Chains A and B, each alone.
Chain A
Amino acid sequence: MKAFRSLLIGTVAAAAFATNAYAARGTDGEVKIIYWQAPSILTPYLSGGTKDVEASSLILEPLMRYDEKGNLVPFLTQEIPTVANGGVSQDLKTITYKLKPDIKWSDGSAFTADDVVFTWQYCADPAGGCAQLAKFEGVENVEAVDAHTVKITFKEPKPNPYLPFNGAQSPIIQKAQFEKCRGANASSCTDANFGPIGTGPFRVTSFRPNDVVTLEANPNYRDPDKPAFATVTLKGGGDAAAAGRAVLETGEFDYAWNLQLAPDVLSKMAAAGKGKPIAAFGSLVERLEMNMTDPDPALGEERSTAKHPHPILSDLNVRKALSMAIDRQLLVDVGYGQAGRPTCNLVPAPELYASPNTDCIKQDVEGAKKLLDEAGWKPGPDGVRVKDGRRFHLLYQTSVNAVRQDFQALIKQWWADVGVEAELKTVDASVFFGGDAGSPDTFQKFYADVEMYANNFDGTDPEAYLAEHTCSKAPRPETQWQGENINRFCNADYDKLVAELGKTADLEKRGEIGRKLNEMLTKESYVVVPLVDRGRVSAHSNTLGGVVLNTWDSELWNTADWFRVK
């Protein structure tokens, strides 16, 4: 009766605000989504695959989600717990969530703190093989203080206590449904895994693994006007090009996920006019790493170790000149199109940690030449600069990849313009990123002067990522050439600041330190020369509204707000 009444009110409201985007629950018919990788299960706890995590995010919800800027948004809680509002304890060892009181599961039962506690018990069970165990690392206990209060205790102080129960990877599952599915029974609970009961905007009506999921609006969803769509069909399979075509050219589907296509291909599809590609940016940055140590083969075992500083690249102005010679916008146009944008930051996002550093984006060939002249590198007879009898010759390596080879060719030419000779080398990606201490061609060994690859960090907090550049993390023979400080950057001030970040809980302060660390690596030292911020491109039809592409959470994070444009 209540549902009917709200439906009625909704319909009336929709009629009244017909020009407005709002609609009542279930009035916009069907929305068709295509994922070119098909979901095989509908809980993220038994599969780490993006397709499964995102498909289940239509049904299951975490306590808080990340929005498109990487900020936390309360979904099932009343507010974001912080030290300031008392939600996080002073010693950073506990966090307390206050749940919204009137949330219901899609079967009509009440959502309580017990479900949250159970979710932790379910995932932490060693026999269960939980795929999201990393989210619960360091958790000592989760307890229900009362029906709507949950307290998480950590083993050690956690400056970033928001990992458990937040984001698409660790949503809350219903205790009543999954109680018998703990431990060894987890994967045999087909009914629960294929049709979980959730608090999200939709519930499963049928699921054919590796093919298609159909869902309908959750009648017990907390917002009576949402979702606008009555049913969802999430089809899986095919390839990115076919998915792109289905949305952009033929209009068979409303939304296509992750279109990894060449810029030309995508813009040609978009020209058909049925839909539009949208891009969102995470933390994946294609960059040049400058080797601070000498990779000369004559040094034998000691090549590319801190014992021998690089004869050319140790000079800050030389590194800066190499960065200035590059036209990043052109690299984006050639290689990534809409899926990329020029950047000068190693940490380009989330907003809190992104430095407003854009100095490098404008190419400055004359400035680069001047800097090199000042550094003592004078043009030689064949145009290549020389200093003290040494030619400015760099070995520039990367993995085998069509876009990277185009970048190599372009950058080689720009460097040639300023009198720097580059020798290009490519290494098979499985060898380059393989980490085999016996191979001379791994990116960790860095037996080259400059190398190019992309990397990002998991989640929204870059602390661990920035801590990779401390002195002790340099790959060297004693560590079997393992380590993340690829360019062997070593600065005591940097190390000190990283340690400080590990002790800071206040978000504003963390952002400040994070931005400073990023600048120390990029615009203050040019040890890391970022080139392109690589984003993700998805597409939606022109008649689908409310889409906000999000790289920090599931792409389907706000399906409750999606509606049909009329």
Chain B
Amino acid sequence: MTDATADRPAAAAPRPARSQWWDVWRQFKTHRGALVGAAIFLVIVAGVVVGPWLWTYSPGFIDIRARNQGPSLMHPLGTDQLGRDMLARTMAGGKVSVAVGVTAMLLSISLGTAIGVLAGYFRRLDNPLMRVTDLFLALPLLPLLLVMVTLFRESLSGRFGPEAGTFILIVGAIGATSWMQAARIVRSAVLAVKEQEFVLAAHSIGTRRRRIIFRHILPNVLSPIMVSATLGIASAIITESALSFLGLGFPPDFPTWGRLLYDAVDYLQQYPERVLWPGLAISLTVLSVNYVGDGLRDAMDPRIRGR
């Protein structure tokens, strides 16, 4: 009997310590779509970050004699109407688009989570914060962005240079206008979690509110946050495309996936591949990120885990 009890820990010792994140990873691994999505997303990120080091063609260089070329060894994805290398442009564009997507998502998720948690947890703040959310939802997005761009573009460009200034402006504009859905989802999740017994228990032993929020509530509402975060990357990339198209985004010689796509639309019939590459890149990124989000949600929800 004593032997047996002594044996058991010894037998378990080779196994690594089980943590929550280890469980999440084990569960995540079983979701094949999520795994493939994560792999593709990593490849894309690696491609746009490392790619320009390997493919040293400048995305802005105009070689007018080589315009409208199909794929070749010189230009694996062909050239555009001014003879600029499409591979270099797709990579440079991806760097901007992915950076805008991820940064704007982080901003909008932090904002949305903060507002959602505050509204859900503190009853007094609920009404005003949710009305503010409604207000933002009711605002027409594009005119608002137009005003923001008109007001701040020049001062930001002056302070940080045209590219960094526009980056800050676009990320700020997208972040500030896309947190509302996340705030609503988080609020409803917080409302449900905060009435559960373990929160009551934490309360009764005198845990401070801040600690309850960070230790008990946030981890339990993480899965909806994750899902809206992944969706947020996708919609941020698409919003940036729309802004570039209206001339409110980056300077025109600064490629992004959205701009490449819109530039190519005029040549859809003659050179369909030119729409294909940036379109494929946007779709793949959005799709893979969504799958990752899906897998994460399944993996992080203890009630689904193991099924």
Q: Which residues of A contact B (CB under 8 A)?
A: 262, 264-265, 268, 297, 330, 334, 399-400, 402, 405-406, 408-410, 412-413, 423-428, 431, 439-441, 447
Contact = CB atoms under 8 A, between A and B. Distances in A.
B270 A410 contact: no
A299 to B, nearest CB: 13
Contacts of B154: 297, 440, 447
Contact of A441 (B64, B150, B251): B150
B253 A424 contact: yes
Interface size, B (range): 20 to 34
Given A424-B251, A426-B252, A405 B263 contact: yes
B150 A439 contact: yes
B47 interface: no
Interface in B22-70: 60-62, 64, 67-68
Contacts of A447: 154
Interface string B229-272: 00000000000000001111001110000000001001101100
B62 A425 contact: no
B82 A406 contact: yes
B158 A264 contact: no
A425 B251 contact: yes
A409 B60 contact: yes
Contacts of B172: none
A264 B251 contact: no
Interface string B129-172: 00000000000000000100010001000100010000000000
A408 B253 CA distance: 8
Contacts of A423: 162, 251
Contacts of B162: 423, 425
A471 to B, nearest CB: 28
A441 B246 CA distance: 14
Interface in B64-87: 64, 67-68, 81-82, 84
Nearest to A432: B247
Contact of A410 (B64, B150, B248): B64
A425 B146 CA distance: 15
8 contacts: A265-B270, A402-B263, A409-B82, A410-B62, A423-B251, A426-B251, A427-B247, A428-B246
Given A264-B267, A268-B270, A441-B150, A428 B247 contact: yes
Contacts of B270: 264-265, 268
A406 B81 contact: yes
B158 A297 contact: yes
B252 A428 contact: no
B251 to A, nearest CB: 5
A330 B253 contact: no
A406 B84 CA distance: 11
Interface of B: 60-62, 64, 67-68, 81-82, 84, 146, 150, 154, 158, 162, 245-248, 251-253, 263, 266-267, 269-270
A334 B269 CA distance: 17
Of B150, B158, B252, B269, most A-chain CB atoms within 10 Å: B252
A242 to B, nearest CB: 13
Contacts of B245: 400
A440 B150 contact: yes
B263 A426 contact: no
Nearest to A406: B82
A85 to B, nearest CB: 52
Contacts of B150: 431, 439-441
Given A297-B154, A334-B82, A409 B252 contact: yes
Contacts of B62: 409-410, 413
Contacts of A426: 247, 251-252
A426 B248 CA distance: 8
A441 B67 CA distance: 32
Contacts of B246: 400, 428
Nearest to B265: A402
**Which 5 A-B pairs have CB atoms at the shortest separation, nearest pair first?**
A400-B247, A426-B247, A405-B252, A424-B251, A413-B62
Contacts of A268: 270
Contacts of B61: 413
Given A410-B64, A413-B60, A447-B154, 8 more contacts: A264-B68, A265-B269, A334-B64, A400-B247, A402-B263, A405-B252, A406-B82, A431-B150
A334 B246 CA distance: 22
A409 B64 CA distance: 11
B266 to A, nearest CB: 5
Contacts of A334: 64, 67, 81-82
Given A409-B62, A410-B62, A262 B266 contact: yes
A549 B45 CA distance: 55
A408 B247 CA distance: 13
A334 to B, nearest CB: 7
Nearest to B271: A264
B247 A399 contact: yes
Contacts of B146: 428, 431
A412 B254 CA distance: 12
A426 B254 CA distance: 12
A52 to B, nearest CB: 29
B248 A262 contact: no
A399 B81 CA distance: 19
B63 to A, nearest CB: 10
Nearest to B161: A423
A423 B154 CA distance: 13
Contacts of B64: 330, 334, 410
A187 B132 CA distance: 52
A330 B82 CA distance: 10
A447 B62 CA distance: 27
Contacts of A408: 252-253
Of B67, B68, B162, B251, most A-chain CB atoms within 10 Å: B251
A426 B252 CA distance: 7
